[in-house]
Structure 1
């Protein structure tokens, strides 16, 4: 990463509405664990990944803006952004002084910090970079999106119709770019969006302590 560049890593707290699709597996928490408590554990662990990085400022993005329980997981002094949509979140981080920023999905508690570093390095030759989310049928949305700030107009416009849950988000962003190579891809990683996703957690992998504590005594696969 370029020395002297001001970088932020912001975790998105955006509670997902219950899905009407029974095949989605329902809330990711196992029976006996409160879904909201579990969501906050995922969020806190993801935030801890961001807060543990060197040479970056961790932040929290709240959408909707009133989430006192989510705010409570952060360290003192953490910037809190209350904005709806990725473009607005990037703009708010830029207003805080960020020259480069990564937006992280709040349900990736075991994300390796190395992946975030790869996204920042890609910004040395491209205005944006992304890490796709692994789904049961292939790529499904994004785990993280990085960008140099302020956003170029084409990316700002494209983010009006794209969020981290958009299944073909990377393809849409690349299609909006004026030329190839504007949105390089980092290694894919998983998110925990359904109960079936719990099976991807590796008990031998360090981190995700809050999630691990809630899952103690519960199987990781349905």
Structure 2
């Protein structure tokens, strides 16, 4: 079974830059760190989904697909762009540079019992969403929908069609920087930018 792990990068992700840090540089640091997480996973193909952000090809390892998205870049569009390349996919928000790879693996495991699995964000929305491809037509909640799991479960045609894994956090505002754990490995680019 071909599995994909895709990092979704949107211009809004630079808005979490703390004072004194260039939002464009912050966005690229977050995206690169999040990409490094998926590129290091075994048995999955890494992908970058660029929704209105240029220059992401420079972050990718050779052979990594960088797919340009237009429009709202919600889950339906993201998973539709991935459908030709795999059978299951996880789309990770590009503003989660310290996401433990284990949480991505847990989402793939949940797809064994449900067509959609969500890693909820600590302050609402989703850090990552997994789905069997093609993405279910009944699902229309976005990554920033505060009650994404409740909404998806309300749309599902049956119970147990939306699974959840452990939650995590995203860096959506300057105050979210405090959520980064200096003791965790990874997020080198974000760490370097914040300590400059």
TM-score category of the 2 structures, normalised to the smaller one: over 0.9
Q: Offset of 1:201 from its aligned partner? A: 0.7
SS of residue paired to 2:165: strand
85-94 or 189-198, which moves further after superposition?
85-94
Please give the alpha-carbon distance, in whole angstroms, between the structure 2 residues aligned to 1:153 and 1:17: 27
Residues 71-103 of structure 1 deviation map (CA, whole Å, 9 limit, x = unaligned): 22111211122223321221221112x100000
- Give 1 or 2 for the bigger CA radius of gyration: 1
Residue-pair matches, total: 193
Equivalent residue, structure 2, for 1:181: 160
CA RMSD of aligned residues (A): 1.5
Structure 2 portions without partners, runs of 5+:
none
Where does 1:1-222 land on structure 2 (aligned, <5 Å)? 5-16=1-12, 27-64=15-52, 67-83=53-69, 84-96=73-85, 98-135=86-123, 140-154=124-138, 158-159=139-140, 162-216=141-195
Runs of 4+ in 1 over 6 A off after TM superposition: none
Please give the alpha-carbon distance, in whole angstroms, between the structure 2 residues aligned to 1:30 and 1:152: 37
Please give the alpha-carbon distance, in whole angstroms, between the structure 2 residues aligned to 1:103 and 1:93: 9
Please give the alpha-carbon distance, in whole angstroms, between the structure 1 residues aligned to 2:5 and 2:97: 14
Equivalent residue, structure 2, for 1:220: none
For the 8 Å contact 1:51–1:57, the answer to whether it is kept is: yes
Structure 1 portions without partners, runs of 5+:
19-26, 218-222
